[in-house]
Amino acid sequence: MAWSAIGNLLPRWIKAPSPANLRHLFYGIILGFSLSLTSTSLALFYQARRKERLNAHFEPRPIELRSDEVLSGVTGLIGNTPLIRINSLSDALGVNILGKAEFLNPGGSVKDRVALRMIDDAETAGLLHPHTGSRIFEGTVGSTGISIATIARARGYDVTIIMPDDVAEEKVKALHALGADVERVRPASIVDKKQYVVSLLYILAKIPPQNCFRMLQNNAQLNLESTLRLIKPHLVQSPSSVVVSTSGNEENPEDLMNKPRGFFADQFENRSNHDAHYDGTGPEIWRQTNGSLNAFVSGAGTGGTVAGIGRFLKSMNEEVMVAISDPEGSGLYNKIKHGVMFDAKESEGTKRRHQVDTVVEGIGINRLTDNISLALPIVDDAFRITDAEAVAMSRYLVQHDGLFLGSSSACNLVACVKIAQKMDWKEGQTIVTILCDSGNRHYSKMIYSITNVARNDEYLEKAGIPIDSDLIPAMISSL
């Protein structure tokens, strides 16, 4: 049929294109398709060549940073730590045991998150101003002090740390290297005026009241009276000597900003401790596991870690089990199990004047802090961990995984094994815990070298710690 005949069949308002125009349109489509196909092929070819060149020069790494990512100073390194599978335990138990590698923070522990949040919140509230000669005070067994000192160096603050004199020497050396002033006191109960946090309060009582601050749960200014009330019978000065006025400053506010201040970080009662984990560590764990975890385990010293992470995970899935690993001498185990803050070593006839000695540092407590109070409603279970179990787990991890971890991390992983023993879970269930710090802070106190076992055993025997290298394998095989 001729093209003109086809045109006659169309309605009047439709004008058929001429054969020449149709040919041009057809050629245009063919040409466009050819160019598109050619350009796509060339792009894929050059992309593959570029990838080959990169692979030829660089080995794959377990952690990849974006090429456009430049972090702001040492604080930019805090957080976003990887979640690693503990292969030896996971393979033996048939349960995925994952550890949040907090020892990779720049200050070497999970406390970097807390120190950064406490200082940030204090600056936001106007209680601290950088590079004014201000000083941060804290009572700690070491890790929090090191984290505070690390960040304080970057922000222009001085630091005073009060700590027990039985902590590992490596922590003291790290604090001195960071320029912190360190005062060591004998371990004592919180009701003893020589206890390390209480000793710090005596120092604070000597600071001019208008320049001494601490944080309250709502991040407002507060006097130290609530904390000093614990030691009021022993105070040389009245608690009113450290009252801070929140209004009616007689001096110009700008002049006050430039004056040196004292700030009591108060990790035990400071809500920033909890918030650092609720806003940071908890969401990271949830994303890294794609929300697929069955239990979370953590020790509790101040309570901020288990409270913050546990409350976040529970808010996302109420079925997630939250458990505490508690060392000997701590009362949290019985608080969770029986509602009483009590340890068997404090029973009548055996109670000591001071706290029970243990090689485990950083976790365990015998009083309720604000942060622990936040954790109690969401904790489902608790596990008592002995020194022997902690030491055995430390050695086991070195020998089987090449992981050189601290005592609190070892306690957490023993608790993971006990959870797997207790729960009737199917294969492939996931338990997440915190790897708080590395073993390089515990050489002098919790030695677990596999090359000098004789010397280590002698040290542990003097400390009264039973030595059983088969303890962890036996615990695993009992499943």
> Tell me, what's the pLDDT at 204?
58
More confident residue, 252 or 426: 426
Mean pLDDT of 68-86: 88
Backbone angles phi, psi at 380, to 5 degrees: -95, -30
Q: What is the pLDDT of residues 397-423, one digit of tens each?
A: 988 999 988 888 999 999 999 999 888
Mean pLDDT of 418-436: 87
More confident residue, 99 or 60: 99
Q: What share of the chain is helix, strand, coil (3-state, %, to 5)?
A: 50, 15, 40
Per DSSP, the three-state class of 217 is coil
Pairing of the two strands 212-215 and 221-222: antiparallel
* 416 Cβ contact partners less than 8 Å away, ≥ 6 residues apart: 86, 89, 97, 295, 297, 431, 433
Q: Which of 111-120, 210-219, 272-281, 295-304 has the lowest mean pLDDT?
A: 210-219
Bridge partners, residue 214, by sequence:
222, 264
Round to whole Å and give the CA distance between 269 and 273: 8
Cβ-count burial 381-390 (b if 16+ within 10 Å, e if not): bbbbbbbbbb
Of 3.40.50.1100, 3.40.50.800, 3.30.300.180, 3.90.230.10, the CATH number of 111-245+252-264 is 3.40.50.1100
Mean pLDDT of 40-58: 66
Task: State the chain's mean pLDDT as an integer.
Answer: 75
- The answer to whether 402 and 357 have CB atoms below 8 angstroms apart is no
Q: Which of 38-42, 187-191, 231-235, 329-333 has the lowest mean pLDDT?
A: 231-235
Using the predicted structure, report yes or no on whether residue 464 has a pLDDT greater than 70: no
- Return the H-helix or E-strand segment holding 96: strand 96-101
Please give the sequence-ordered ranges of beta strands (E in DSSP) within 172-265, or none if there are none. 181-185, 212-215, 221-222, 262-264
- Identical fold for domains 81-105+274-477 and 111-245+252-264, yes or no, is yes
> Tell me, what's the pLDDT at 473?
74
Using the predicted structure, report yes or no on whether residue 362 has a pLDDT greater than 90: no
Using the predicted structure, report yes or no on whether residue 2 has a pLDDT greater than 80: no
Using the predicted structure, report yes or no on whether residue 392 has a pLDDT greater than 90: no
More confident residue, 100 or 337: 100
Taking the domains of the chain in order of start, what are their residue ranges?
Answer: 3-46, 81-105+274-477, 111-245+252-264
More confident residue, 48 or 117: 117
Mean pLDDT of 177-185: 87
Instruction: Walk across the sheet containing 381-385 and list its strands.
Output: 83-85, 96-101, 430-435, 295-299, 321-327, 381-385
How distant, in Å, are the alpha carbons of 18, 24, 26, 68, 207 from that of 2?
12, 19, 19, 64, 106
More confident residue, 119 or 453: 119
> Tell me, what's the pLDDT at 215?
41
> Tell me, what's the pLDDT at 414?
95
> Tell me, what's the pLDDT at 323?
96
Of 3.40.50.1100, 3.40.50.920, 3.60.40.10, 3.90.650.10, the CATH number of 81-105+274-477 is 3.40.50.1100
Short-list 290, 292, 326, CA closest to 306 = 326
* 172 Cβ contact partners less than 8 Å away, ≥ 6 residues apart: 142, 163, 182, 184
Q: What percent of the chain stands above pLDDT 70? A: 66
Mean pLDDT of 247-268: 64
- For the chain, the residue count is 479
Using the predicted structure, report yes or no on whether residue 250 has a pLDDT greater than 50: no
Round to whole Å and give the CA distance between 372 and 352: 24
Mean pLDDT of 74-94: 93
User: How confident is residue 278, by pLDDT bands cut at 50, 70 and 90?
Assistant: very high
> Tell me, what's the pLDDT at 84?
96
Backbone angles phi, psi at 30, to 5 degrees: -60, -45
- The answer to whether 180 and 149 have CB atoms below 8 angstroms apart is yes
The position carrying tokens 């609190």 is 408
User: How confident is residue 221, by pLDDT bands cut at 50, 70 and 90?
Assistant: very low
Residue 435 structure tokens: 């790897």
Residue 192 structure tokens: 């003893």
Is the CA virtual torsion 46, 50, 56, 61 positive or negative? negative
Residue 38 structure tokens: 């050619």
Mean pLDDT of 94-111: 94
How distant, in Å, are the alpha carbons of 134, 228, 273 from that of 205?
16, 9, 24
> Tell me, what's the pLDDT at 331?
82
Round to whole Å and give the CA distance between 191 and 354: 10
> Tell me, what's the pLDDT at 267?
86
Alpha helices (runs of H) in 356-464, residue ranges in sequence order: 370-375, 387-401, 407-422, 453-462
Short-list 87, 118, 84, CA closest to 98 = 84
User: How confident is residue 317, by pLDDT bands cut at 50, 70 and 90?
Assistant: very high
> Tell me, what's the pLDDT at 48?
74
Q: Which of 52-61, 282-291, 432-441, 462-471 has the lowest mean pLDDT?
A: 52-61
Per DSSP, the three-state class of 325 is strand
Mean pLDDT of 257-270: 80
More confident residue, 289 or 460: 289
Using the predicted structure, report yes or no on whether residue 60 has a pLDDT greater than 50: no
> Tell me, what's the pLDDT at 3?
52
